[in-house]
Amino acid sequence: MIKLIVGLGNPGSQYEKTRHNAGFIFLNHLALQNGLVWKSSSQFQSDVISCSINGKDLILIKPLTFMNKSGLSVGKVMRYYKLKPEEMLVVHDELELAEGVIKLKLDGGHAGHNGLRDIIAHLDSRNFYRLRLGIGRPSLGGNVADYVLSKPSQAGSELLDKVCQVLIKDFDWLVDADMAKLNALLPAQI
């Protein structure tokens, strides 16, 4: 069962609605839907919520160390709460999936995602769950860094919001890490 949900992104208003902040966007939807308030933690270098959702005790974090140093915050939280890697879900943007597509997986590499790379390095483990939120790829010849750090189209932004709402509606599947149900969920539900 998941005990920690980490949303990946970059702090600051200039990154707020960018593709790379898909993890932050999901957790902000989850907090809003459940009437939860973020608290800044200098100890964890994160915005943090300790809560119970649908009777499940959870810690939600948004690392404030910027994407490429996400492992610093995650490692501190994992050690403090004595959590195992398989009790963590990392929500992040995924270039290899089209907009609106999700995939839940356990274990694996970082596939070039610097936030995942840093978490793997700090934990010395890849054995954690990842909720990959599809953002698509830039057009042929487009710069990947510019693409992920830019805002999606209005339709793309609305699609991400819908995906977040569907995931929150079926949140128990997510916390129970029910990969079969979640991986079959989208985009059919939208």
| Nearest CA among 116, 65, 73 for reference residue 94 | 116
> How far is the CA of 21 from the CAs of 44, 113, 141, in angstroms?
19, 13, 23
List of residues 6+ apart from 188 with CB closer than 8 A: none
How many angstroms separate the CA atoms of 16 and 149, rounded?
Answer: 10
122 noted as active-site residue? no
Whether omega for the bond prior to residue 187 falls within 30 degrees of 0, making it cis, is: yes
In this structure, the number of other CB atoms found within 10 A of the CB of residue 40 comes to 11
H or E element: which one contains 145?
helix 144-148
Catalytic residues: 20
